[in-house]
Copies of this chain bind each other. A is one copy, B any other.
Amino acid sequence: VLIDPERLWSSIMEMAEVGGIPGGGCRRLSLSPEDGAGRDLFSRWCREAGCTVEVDCFGNMFAIRRGRAQPDRLVMTGSHLDTQPVGGRFDGIYGVMAGLEVMRTLNDLDLETACSVAVVNWTNEEGARFSAAQTGSKGFVGQVSLEQAYQLRGVDGVSFGEALDGIGYAGNRGPRPEQLVCYVEAHIEQGPVLEAARKTLGIVESAQAARWYQVDVNGETRHAGTTPAKRRRDAYMAAAAFAVQSRRHLLDMDPGIRFTIGRVELGTNAPNTVPGQASFTIDLRFPGDQVLDRAETVLRDVLSGIDRQEGTRSQLQTTHVVPMVGFDAALTTEIETLAGSNAMRLSSGAMHDACAIAAVAPTAMIFVPSRDGVSHHQDEWLEPRDAASGADLLFRVVEKKANPVL
């Protein structure tokens, strides 16, 4: 490998100490003092690597290594340094540190590039403090306005704008989207697919489409002791039958569909009462909007059937729709070729800053394995050798894209 695996790893570990929590995790909520300290450290490392650091009005940080021939054209990489309240050491951080390692390696090899290279730290990717995820990257591409962002209110009551001022990261400089040659983000998978396939590198073709639904089931609240089975309209039994039947039908349709009932609430929720009301959420994801259209039809059909069978009346409402994001096909193929046999194509289950940037520039992502698929948890883990493989691929991609064949 061309990059320095130990330098990369020690930077990740040093960053993890900023806002470190017991068990090896991190708590660097966006624009908190800990985030400020993490940003200061990143900024210092970038300047030490000879980069100029620009901060825009969303607090996005761009460390720029100036290109020789086309300095206004940028090959950009990066991710985010903010974490979940009980987060891991790699989610987001890996992509920023891998980008920094690319810079350092370019320096080690004394390589000049034709275009400039930038490493970005996007603000508030997690949406854990300010409940709108990917604020910085969406702001960069114009999907979120400055006014919308500044008015976001944190769970602690502080606004995004106040918090940005508070840590001194409200800037007024930074590149424009038109300058991007491409954007390539490295990230941990946060899922078990690479590990299960024994692959080190994931070439991310797309980010799944996602739909959220709220289902409300109405039955009859009754005495558990006195109401015979055939006289019940049990909202929870209807909800449970819906879960079982829907999963079977959806996985028959396509085993790749991700179907989750993550929140369940019963109206009375008392042991000796037949539930008259049950409400639950559905999180449905697949890399393809048409399959989700068909999946939604299945869900509605199953629900109607259950209403007939159980004597309930149910409503299914769509609460959130995220269309699929397809990454740049040519760029993805280029990366795949550079990656070699240790890579596989896959779709991202989670949303990333790259999903926003894909709207304005050729964009791709590189995944590295998450042990046991764990993320958003202090047990999140990335093997050092896999961290090195991903950063090395990123180096080769960035170096190639920043030196276009003319």
A161 to B189, CA, bound (A): 63
Q: Does A227 contact B (CB under 8 A)?
A: yes
Residue among B239, B241, B373 making CB contact with A226, cutoff 8 Å? B373
| B212–A229 CB distance below 8 A | no
CB contact under 8 A between A269 and B260, given known A190-B226, A191-B226: no
Q: Collect the chain B residues with CB atoms within 8 Å of residue A158's CB.
A: none
Q: Is the CB of B229 within 8 A of A259?
A: yes
A230: chain B residues within 8 A (beta carbon): 255
Which residues on the B side are within 8 Å of A274 (C-beta)?
260, 262
A191 & B349 in contact (Cβ 8 Å cutoff): no
B258 to A224, Cβ gap below 8 A? yes
| Residue in contact with A227 in the complex, picked from B231, B257, B258, CB distance below 8 Å | B258
A159 located at the interface, meaning its Cβ lies under 8 Å from any Cβ of chain B in the complex: no
Task: Give the residues from 9 to 40 in chain A that come closer than 8 angstroms, CB to CB, to chain B.
Answer: none
Closest to A282 in B: B271
Residues on A facing B (Cβ under 8 Å): 189-193, 196, 208, 210, 212, 221-231, 234, 236-237, 239-241, 243-244, 247, 251, 255-266, 268-275, 281, 283, 285, 348-351, 373-377
13 A-B pairs, CB-CB below 8 angstroms? A189-B226, A191-B226, A191-B228, A192-B227, A208-B225, A221-B377, A224-B285, A225-B283, A225-B348, A228-B255, A229-B255, A230-B255, A236-B264
